[in-house]
């Protein structure tokens, strides 16, 4: 699916029980995610659940402000930049990749494509979800493997960035 040209999900209204998105929405542009969130709202059944796991920009900002060069995410980004770009990233460049980052899939996406194109803290994702049609009272901050729905019991059973709770924001929404 080309998210640059995204218009709608090929699903009927109120036809889906659950939607799970772990570290995917930050890869969509700021112009696409409002459409995607509105479409998820449209296709979810009444009492359906939407679980999002996103990079938590607020956590990274706090670590940046503290000057924490040992923050695992920053260390990993610094190591990757040295290997892939022959660059010694500054701490800010490590933080910036929460918001904008070069794609590691050059063969698939092209040389100058972006991986991260979007970022949230809890208040911003809350606002975006309300704008998409969800009720504020039915949106809550969650935690790793702490879903209110048993449909997501698989979380943590496979290698994923969702398991990196030290740098992720967990949100659940019921329709």
Which CATH number does the domain housing residue 42 bear? Answer: 3.40.50.150
Residue 149, domain member (yes or no): yes
Give the C-alpha separation, 22 to 51, whole Å: 8
Alpha helices in 55-173 (DSSP H): 57-65, 72-85, 91-96, 106-109, 122-131
**Residue of 101, 97, 133, 130 whose CA lies nearest to 114:** 101
Residue 3, domain member (yes or no): no
- Give the end of a domain, one of 82, 109, 136: 109
Give the C-alpha separation, 172 to 140, whole Å: 5
Full residue range of the structural domain in which residue 73 is found: 59-109
Residue 162, domain member (yes or no): yes
Each residue's pLDDT expressed in tens, for the chain with a length of 175 residues: 445 577 889 999 999 999 999 999 998 889 999 999 999 999 999 999 999 999 999 999 999 999 999 999 999 999 999 998 899 999 999 999 888 887 666 665 566 677 788 999 999 999 999 999 999 999 999 999 999 999 999 999 988 877 889 999 999 999 9
Residue 2, domain member (yes or no): no
Total domains present in the chain: 2
């Amino acid at each position: 699916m080309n998210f640059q040209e995204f218009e709608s999900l090929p699903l009927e209204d109120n036809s889906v029980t659950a939607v799970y998105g772990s570290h995917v929405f930050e890869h969509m542009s700021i112009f696409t995610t409002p459409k995607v969130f509105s479409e998820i709202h449209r296709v979810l059944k009444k009492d359906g659940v939407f679980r999002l796991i996103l990079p938590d920009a607020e956590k990274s900002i706090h670590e940046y402000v503290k000057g924490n060069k040992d923050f695992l995410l920053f260390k990993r980004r610094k190591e990757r930049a040295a290997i892939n770009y022959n660059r010694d990233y500054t701490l800010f460049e490590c933080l910036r990749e929460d918001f904008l980052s070069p794609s590691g899939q050059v063969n698939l996406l092209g040389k100058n494509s972006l991986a991260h194109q979007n970022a949230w803290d809890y208040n911003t994702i809350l606002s975006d979800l309300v704008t998409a049609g969800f009720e504020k009272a039915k949106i809550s901050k969650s935690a790793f493997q702490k879903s209110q729905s048993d449909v997501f019991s698989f979380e943590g059973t496979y290698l994923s960035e969702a398991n990196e709770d030290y740098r992720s924001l967990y949100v659940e929404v019921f329709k």
